Every structure is written in structure tokens, then in C-alpha cells.
């Protein structure tokens, strides 16, 4: 064998070894930029995934073969997840929130059956997913937590809404809890017109609350955005009309890096709408979104927001949509993501490097029916392109 051939074989061997180590399609990568967690679901709610930028870790609530878990994942440069810590849950998880000051961990909220009723259960975990405390709150046979936000003092606000039988049960309640899970105050509606979709921590230690139709809690009778102080007293509110291009309900609320508030929701006729307010509730701008549905928001380092939604509002044949807006309300990109089948949006987070992580459910890996939907995650860059 000539020396030239020996060098060639050595070069090919090193190349193959290098490609194997740096394979960007390491499991569980699959089609169209999805990273799939086979057999897992729960990722189609806006609070089923949380992100900690300081440790570059993803926290998720999952259901795998009937077992409910909360997991902490590390994520390498190719988006491949590695489980760092996990805990098994003895209740049905629905929401997760990270960046909890008291424990540096996460809070998980869900429901548990007890004596024929459904209780709202909230559990706090430290950074290694060791349980810190668990609290149960009065619920009913049709209640569930719908949104959760961690407040500046380490406490939390949880919105709870009923799912049906509006004539016999109040539609909305709001719990304000301290960092140990004890109830500080709660507000209940006795109106069949109240429906809460979103809460967000406010700089004053209070809570921003978005209501679809507010007939009891704040007494305005129309869709409402309100700021409550730490004691639950209304500081200001903004109401909306029933015009085709006005807000029908609020999907999500997020504070920007400059202290403004941005909401995303849907209008009565024209699909998505985004509205930006200053800290006093003064409207800065509003924009009709480019797509039909909107689910979740994430603040971006440039004082803008990135929005996760879907191409159509129906369950079948959805595609994931993501778009970016700057601080002035200008659209910087819009992208349609996903592959064959139906992709349902879940949550979106801005990563430490300025890119974005999306979660949701897909049946694009095969199978039919809701039971064949699996959790997926997609990373996109700051131009809306899927990252390899």
C-alpha cells in the first residue's frame, strides 16, 4: 500500500469519526425540524414548557404511557435534550412556571380528584426537582387552573376557570398565594359571563389579568384587561367593544424588557390581534396579526415580542406559525413551520442566545386520533428559520 493511500484512509476514518460525534440529527430528531418525545404529550398548552435562561435548561410537564412527570432537560447546540432531573407527579399537571425566587426551581399546577370533587393542586420544586411544598385549593367538579405566573415576591397568581355548566358554577376565580403556597386572597365570580385566559406578574408586585367577558370580578361587563395591586385592588382597567376588529379574548400577556405590557388575543372577525400598553395602561399601538390563531408570547432582548400561533383555528391540519414584532409594532418575520399532519402550538421561549424554542403536539410521525399526538420541540433563529 502506498503512503498516499494510507493518508487517504486515515483522512476518511477521521472524517467519519467526526461526523458521528457531531451528528446534528442525534435522537430524537425527526422531520421538518421537530425534536420528538415519542409517546409523550401535554405540550399543547401555553404553560406546559418553561425555560431558565441562566442555566439554559428546559422544564416540561409530560405524560408518557400514562405516567405524569415533570422533567428538567439540558439542550446541546443541536437542540437534543438530555434529562437532568425528573419527578413523578400524583396529579394531572396542566401548568408549569420557572424562575421561582424562593426555590430557584419551578411550580407545577394541575388537578387531583378527592371525594368526588376536583381540587386545584400546586407543587413547588427546587432546581433539582425535589419537592418543596404542595398546596390544594378548593375547586369543583368542572374547574381547572388555566394560567399561572410567578410574582416578584416569589408568590404566584393562578387563574381558574370552569369548563362547562356555566349556569350552575362561577366561571372564574383568581388565587394570590405567597412563596409557601398559602392563599393571600382569592376572587370568585358569581357571573356566568366571566372567563379568564391569562395572568402576568406586574412590576408593582401585583397581577395583570385578562378576562374574556367580565360580569362579576371587576364589574365592567365587557372583555377586560386589568392591573391588580398585591392586595387584589384594581389599579386600572381597559375594556373592549364588540366591533369586528376589537379584542374578543386574551390568549397571553407578557411584560417587555422596558416594562411595557403586550397582549395577544383574537378579534371577533379578523383573527389575531396584538396590543401594547405602557405601565399605566395607556395603549401604544395595536396590530392585526398575520395569522388566524395565537397562543403564546415571549419577550425578546430588543424590547419586542415573538408570537406562537397556528394557521387555522380548527384542530385538524394545523400548521405552526411564529412571528416577531419589534418595540414599535413592526413585523420582522413570519414563518410557517411543521410537516405533514397536524401540528398544535404549545409554548414559546426566548433562549439565552437570542433564538427561540417552540413546543407543541404533532401527529406527523404517524397514527391518527388525538392519542397519537406526541410532544415536539422546534428551535428557530431570530429570522424565523428552523435551526438544524
Residue 75 sits in the same domain as residue 157: yes
The mean per-residue pLDDT over the stretch 296-305 comes to 94
Q: Residue 388: inside a domain, yes or no? A: yes
> Are 378 and 328 in a shared domain?
yes
The pLDDT of residue 325 is: 93
Q: Which residue has the higher pLDDT, 342 or 218?
A: 342
In a domain, 218, yes or no: yes
Do 190 and 259 sit in the same domain of this protein? Answer: no
Q: Are residue 259 and residue 232 in the same domain, yes or no?
A: no
Write the CB contacts of 115 (distance below 8 Å, at least 6 apart in sequence): none
Residue 106 within any structural domain of the chain = yes
pLDDT one-digit tens code per residue, 153-171? 888 888 876 654 444 444 5
Q: What is the pLDDT of residue 254?
A: 94
Predicted confidence band of residue 235 (pLDDT cuts 50, 70, 90): very high
Number of domains in the chain: 2
Does residue 33 lie in a domain region?
Answer: no
Determine the structural domain holding residue 290 and report its residue range. 242-388
| pLDDT tens for each residue of 326-340 | 999 999 998 887 666
Grid cell, residue 384, equals: 424565523
| End residue of a domain, out of 239, 274, 308 | 239
Question: Do 160 and 246 fall into the same domain?
Answer: no
Average pLDDT over residues 360-368: 63
* 4 inside domain: no
Domain shared by 282 and 210, yes or no: no
pLDDT at 137: 81
Co-location of 112 and 224 in the same domain: yes
Length of the chain as a residue count:
388
Q: Is pLDDT above 50 for 226?
A: yes
Domain stops at, among 224, 239, 254: 239
* 99 and 225 share one domain: yes
Q: In this predicted structure, which of 140-149, 246-255, 263-272, 362-371 has the lowest mean pLDDT?
A: 362-371
Q: What is the mean pLDDT of residues 158-185?
A: 71
Is the Cβ–Cβ distance between 363 and 31 less than 8 Å?
Answer: no
pLDDT at 379 over 70: yes
**Tens of pLDDT, residues 191-209:** 544 555 689 999 888 999 8
The answer as to whether 61 is a domain residue is yes
Residues 311 and 290 both lie in one domain: yes
* DSSP annotation string for 155-200: -EEEEEEE-S-TTTS-SEEEEEE-TTS-EEEEEE---TT--EEEEE
For all residues of the chain together, what is the average pLDDT? 76
List, for residues 40-57, the tens digit of each pLDDT value: 566 556 678 888 888 888
Amino acid at each position: 500500500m502506498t503512503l498516499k493511500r494510507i493518508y487517504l484512509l486515515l483522512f476518511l476514518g477521521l472524517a467519519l469519526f467526526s461526523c458521528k460525534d457531531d451528528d446534528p440529527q442525534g435522537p430524537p430528531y425527526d422531520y421538518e425540524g421537530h425534536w420528538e418525545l415519542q409517546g409523550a404529550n401535554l405540550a399543547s398548552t401555553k404553560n406546559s414548557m418553561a425555560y431558565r435562561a441562566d442555566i439554559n435548561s428546559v422544564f416540561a410537564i409530560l405524560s408518557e404511557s400514562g405516567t405524569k412527570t415533570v422533567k428538567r432537560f439540558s439542550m446541546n447546540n443541536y437542540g437534543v435534550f438530555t434529562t437532568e432531573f425528573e419527578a413523578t407527579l400524583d396529579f394531572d399537571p396542566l401548568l408549569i412556571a420557572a424562575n421561582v425566587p424562593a426555590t430557584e426551581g419551578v411550580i407545577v399546577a394541575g388537578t387531583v380528584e378527592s371525594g368526588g370533587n376536583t381540587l386545584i393542586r400546586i407543587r413547588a420544586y427546587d432546581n433539582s426537582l425535589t419537592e418543596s411544598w404542595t398546596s390544594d385549593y378548593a375547586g369543583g367538579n368542572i374547574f381547572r387552573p388555566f394560567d399561572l405566573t410567578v410574582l416578584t415576591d416569589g408568590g404566584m397568581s393562578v387563574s381558574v376557570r370552569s369548563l362547562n355548566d356555566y349556569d350552575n358554577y362561577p366561571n372564574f376565580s383568581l388565587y394570590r398565594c405567597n412563596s409557601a403556597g398559602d392563599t393571600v386572597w382569592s376572587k370568585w365570580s358569581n357571573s356566568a359571563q366571566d372567563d379568564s385566559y391569562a395572568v402576568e406578574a406586574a412590576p408593582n408586585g401585583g397581577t395583570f389579568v385578562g378576562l374574556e367577558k367580565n360580569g362579576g370580578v371587576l364589574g365592567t361587563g365587557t372583555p377586560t384587561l386589568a392591573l391588580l395591586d398585591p392586595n387584589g385592588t384594581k389599579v386600572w382597567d381597559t375594556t373592549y367593544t364588540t366591533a369586528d376588529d376589537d379584542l374578543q379574548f386574551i390568549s397571553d400577556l407578557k411584560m417587555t424588557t422596558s416594562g411595557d405590557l403586550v397582549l395577544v388575543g383574537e378579534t371577533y372577525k379578523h383573527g389575531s390581534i396584538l396590543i401594547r400598553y405602557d405601565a399605566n395602561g395607556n395603549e401604544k399601538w395595536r396590530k392585526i396579526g398575520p395569522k388566524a390563531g395565537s397562543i403564546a408570547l415571549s419577550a425578546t432582548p430588543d424590547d419586542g415580542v415573538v408570537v406562537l400561533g397556528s394557521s387555522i383555528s380548527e384542530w385538524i391540519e394545523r400548521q405552526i406559525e411564529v412571528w416577531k414584532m419589534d418595540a414599535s409594532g413592526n413585523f420582522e418575520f413570519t414563518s410557517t413551520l411543521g410537516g405533514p399532519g397536524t401540528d398544535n402550538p404549545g409554548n414559546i421561549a426566548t433562549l439565552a442566545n437570542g433564538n427561540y424554542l417552540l413546543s407543541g403536539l404533532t401527529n406527523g410521525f404517524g397514527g391518527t386520533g388525538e392519542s397519537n399526538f406526541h410532544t415536539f420541540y422546534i428551535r428557530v433563529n431570530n429570522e424565523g428559520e428552523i435551526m438544524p
